[in-house]
């Protein structure tokens, strides 16, 4: 990896804060017993813990790092309805009925997250897709038409290369604050959480870490980046990659009123409530070299992000943070949600679109792990596994 240039930027720490700081639970020491063990303490895993508590189950959660230490606390903070495919592409791929039902399910999950966490963690300020070319402007028109036809809110919005798409129900969130708030809430409700506890062995009745084990009746694995390493049987369908971001010093509030998707969603930025701008992207330019890389910022990608910030977004404020996260993709751009081993329900591989769909899928996985019938979302996401 080329060395990062010297400067004032905090290299490696997200603008949201350092996940290693704060009140992280201790490592697992000895054995504990619970009805359910959740592996992964990001937004999805903590949603699974919360769902288990709501169902009256006892629950233990483990993570190799701190709360929100993976992509859950290192992402772009976008709160978007739908899947990793734009709605008209989802319709073309999965059919109108299934695509519309998936979109509606994510809207319901966004409403649930807003009610659960509130402001300032959740900000329903809408989102904007900006076309980078006339061809993309035509695609934006197809996206708008498909959303409106299926009863979802969308409107045209001016962009430098033609009309884009304004989705008023979307928004933004502070991903690390979300994880910390959820962790505090479930700990107060009786969940046993353990950080710094990587999984060494995993079965439906026992999860082993270096310091001890969780004995349980079922396991939910809610991990995104590195899911195929933890569960090698998923490797043929799941592949992890690095995504990179930077953030600036504050600029005038209102400069970027809502999160922006640009260049077919490969590039993205938003303004935080304190005026800072967080920007990421470059996956279309650097895709092949980012597969399997660790969560460390790379000089070449960061230099390109600098150019994107100045030339495309028009922001010349100093860069204060540069960081990366690891996420997992599937070929069909739908998350994993299946029983991969007896008693082990896995969800993850969210294809860069996990702040909403991830928690919804994790709650569905929990319902299944606790012995209930597959919820409708499970059948929508993976009919081959649950029909």
What CA–CA distance (Å, rounded) separates 341 from 185? 30
Q: What is the pLDDT of residue 172?
A: 98
Dihedral sign of CA atoms 291, 357, 168, 118 in order: negative
pLDDT tens digits for range 127-141: 999 999 999 999 999
pLDDT averaged over the chain? 96
Judged against a pLDDT cut of 60, whether residue 352 lies above it is answered with: yes
pLDDT tens digits for range 43-78: 999 999 999 999 999 999 999 999 999 999 999 999
First to last CA, the chain: 45
What CA–CA distance (Å, rounded) separates 240 from 1? 18
Name all domains of the chain by residue range, CATH numbers in brackets: 18-74+176-237+332-386 (3.50.50.60)
Judged against a pLDDT cut of 90, whether residue 5 lies above it is answered with: no
Check: CB of residue 175 under 8 Å from CB of residue 77. Answer: yes
Provide CB contacts within 8 A for 297, sequence distance 6+: 4, 11, 12, 244, 246, 322, 323, 324
Provide CB contacts within 8 A for 117, sequence distance 6+: 173, 178, 181, 182
Percentage of residues in the chain having pLDDT higher than 70: 98
Judged against a pLDDT cut of 70, whether residue 307 lies above it is answered with: yes
Provide CB contacts within 8 A for 9, sequence distance 6+: 246, 318, 319, 320, 321, 322
Kindly state the average pLDDT of the residues 154-182: 94
Judged against a pLDDT cut of 50, whether residue 6 lies above it is answered with: no
Q: What is the pLDDT of residue 374?
A: 98
Q: Which residue has the tokens 């978007």?
A: 80
Q: What is the pLDDT of residue 3?
A: 42
Q: What is the pLDDT of residue 50?
A: 98
Prediction pTM value: 0.96
pLDDT tens digits for range 178-234: 999 999 999 999 999 999 999 999 999 999 999 999 999 999 999 999 999 999 999
Q: What is the pLDDT of residue 158?
A: 85
Q: Per residue, what are the HEC states of the chain? A: CCCCCCCCCEECCCCCCCCCCCCCCCCCCEEEECCEEEECCCHHHHHHHHHHHHCCCCEEEECCCCCCCCHHHCCCCEECCCCCCCHHHHHHHHCHHHHHHHHHHHHHHHHHHHHHHCCCCEECCCEEEECCCHHHHHHHHHHHHHHHHCCCCCEEECCCCCCEEEECCCEEECHHHHHHHHHHHHHHCCCEEECCCCCCEEECCEEEECCEEEECCEEEEECCCCHHHHCHHHCCCEEEEEEEEEEECCCCCCCCCCCEEEHHHCEEEEECCCCCEEEECCHHHHHHHHECCCCCCCHHHHHHHHHHHHHHHCCCCCEEEEEEEEEEEECCCCCEEEEEECCEEEEECCCCCHHHHHHHHHHHHHHHHCCCCCCHHHHHHCHHHHC
What CA–CA distance (Å, rounded) separates 200 from 193? 17
Percentage of residues in the chain having pLDDT higher than 90: 95
Which residues are registered as beta bridge partners of 37?
A: 60, 219
Q: What is the pLDDT of residue 7?
A: 56
pLDDT tens digits for range 234-271: 999 999 999 999 999 999 999 999 999 999 999 999 99
């Amino acid at each position: 990896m080329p060395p990062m240039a010297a400067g004032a930027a905090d290299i490696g720490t997200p603008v949201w804060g350092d996940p290693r700081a704060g009140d992280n639970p201790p490592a697992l020491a000895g054995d504990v017993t619970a009805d359910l063990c959740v592996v992964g303490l990001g937004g999805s895993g903590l949603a699974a813990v919360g769902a288990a508590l709501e169902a009256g189950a006892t629950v233990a959660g483990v993570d190799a790092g701190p709360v929100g230490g993976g992509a859950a606390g290192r992402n772009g903070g976008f709160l978007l309805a739908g899947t990793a495919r734009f709605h008209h592409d989802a319709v073309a791929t999965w059919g109108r009925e299934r695509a519309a039902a998936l979109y509606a399910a994510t809207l319901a999950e966004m409403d649930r997250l807003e009610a659960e966490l509130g402001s300032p963690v959740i900000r329903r300020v809408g989102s904007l897709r900006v076309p980078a070319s006339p061809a993309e402007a035509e695609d934006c028109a197809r996206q708008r038409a498909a959303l409106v036809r299926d009863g979802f809110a969308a409107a045209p919005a001016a962009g430098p290369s033609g009309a884009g798409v304004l989705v008023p129900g979307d928004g933004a969130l502070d991903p690390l604050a979300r994880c910390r708030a959820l962790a505090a809430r479930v700990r107060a409700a009786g969940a046993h959480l353990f950080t710094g506890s990587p999984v060494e062995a995993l079965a439906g009745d026992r999860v082993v870490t270096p310091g001890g084990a969780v004995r349980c009746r079922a396991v939910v694995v809610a991990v995104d980046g590195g899911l195929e390493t933890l569960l090698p049987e998923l490797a043929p369908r799941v592949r992890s990659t690095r995504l990179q971001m930077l953030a600036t010093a504050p600029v005038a509030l209102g400069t970027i009123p809502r999160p922006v998707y640009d260049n077919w969603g490969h590039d993205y930025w938003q303004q935080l409530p304190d005026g800072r701008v967080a920007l990421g992207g470059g996956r279309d330019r650097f895709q092949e070299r980012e597969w399997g890389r660790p969560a460390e910022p790379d000089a070449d990608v960061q230099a390109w992000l600098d150019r994107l910030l100045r030339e495309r977004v028009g922001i010349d404020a100093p860069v204060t943070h540069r960081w990366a996260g690891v996420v997992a993709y599937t070929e069909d751009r739908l998350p994993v949600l299946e029983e991969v081993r007896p008693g082990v329900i896995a969800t993850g591989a969210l294809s860069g679109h996990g702040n909403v769909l991830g928690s919804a899928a994790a709650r569905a996985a929990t319902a299944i792990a606790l012995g209930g019938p597959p919820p409708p979302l499970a059948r929508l996401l993976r009919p081959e596994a649950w029909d």
